[in-house]
Amino acid sequence: MTEQLRLMAVHAHPDDESSKGAATMAKYVAEGVDVLVATCTGGERGSILNPKLQGDPYIEEHIHEVRAKEMEEARQILGVKQAWLGYVDSGLPEGDPLPPLPEGCFALADVDEAAGTLVRLIREFRPHVITTYDENGGYPHPDHIMTHTISMLAFDAAGDPDRYPGTGEPWQPQKLYYNQGFNRARTEAMHHALLERGMESPYGEWLKRWDESDRPERVLTTQVPCGEYFEVRDKALIAHATQIDPDGPWFRIPLEIQRDIWPTEDFELAKSLVDTTLPEDDLFAGIR
């Protein structure tokens, strides 16, 4: 190809882009790829997870503005562009029975309308590749599942001139991937590597819950080598200060161990309109 390659990463909340595929995005930016993060909601209902910031009345009152500022800092660290779809965070319902979702939230939005909002952005940015979540949302947060739903609809609709008239010239992305960074193979490899080194592993409970659940194993079709950008990923994640404890388990595993044991970020190819050979090491395989 002679034109610049373009990648769109569709995420539910600010901070998702820094915990899912961030090193891959930073790698592609360094290689000259144009990368856009599409953030569906403002993250207004996200809990303040950093103990150092809990109880801060300003943050609690202005959480929307605070999270937007965090997103801008992370965007600059990653070197990507970013656009808001403008929907309101649904929150993660908890309890038994689960409470109803709040009125006006993203997960209750009209699916066709929300997909049209994403189609407009796709036609404007014209990505060759889109990344999003699988049908389970990666984990069953209602906003993640809604993100999957509208991403799949928009991928198919964006290139069809008969759908969503008035939202720009049709553009057909060529490939769509599911983020699969939190896969079992990586988790087990990291867990055993830490134990073999006499270190504490934060993954024991994860694996126990995995064994107790009926969570299906995913097919890792594409593993992008990006270990040299793990530090950039972590800096972007820490920029989301309300959501991340910098002293928490995310950051206890030395980067050199991560690079040695699992130096890739992993994806599942869900849709492709080009010929490619699996497994891949490049989201643009078959397009370049």
Tokens of 68: 């937007």
Residue 62 counted as an annotated binding residue: no
* Closest CA relative to residue 223, chosen from 176, 282, 137, 164: 282
State how far the Cα of 160 lies from the Cα of 171, in Å rounded to an integer. Answer: 8
Would you call 237 helix, strand, or coil by DSSP? helix
Check: CB of residue 115 under 8 Å from CB of residue 160: no
Calpha distance 84→98 (Å, rounded): 28
16 marked ligand binding residue: yes
- Count the Cβ atoms, other than its own, within 10 Å of residue 83: 14
- Consult the annotation and say whether 211 binds a ligand: no
Strand-pair partners of 46: none
DSSP-based helix, strand, coil % in the chain, nearest 5 = 40, 15, 45
Strands 81-87 and 34-41: parallel
Binding site feature residues for Zn(2+)? 13, 16, 144
Binding site feature residues? 13, 16, 144
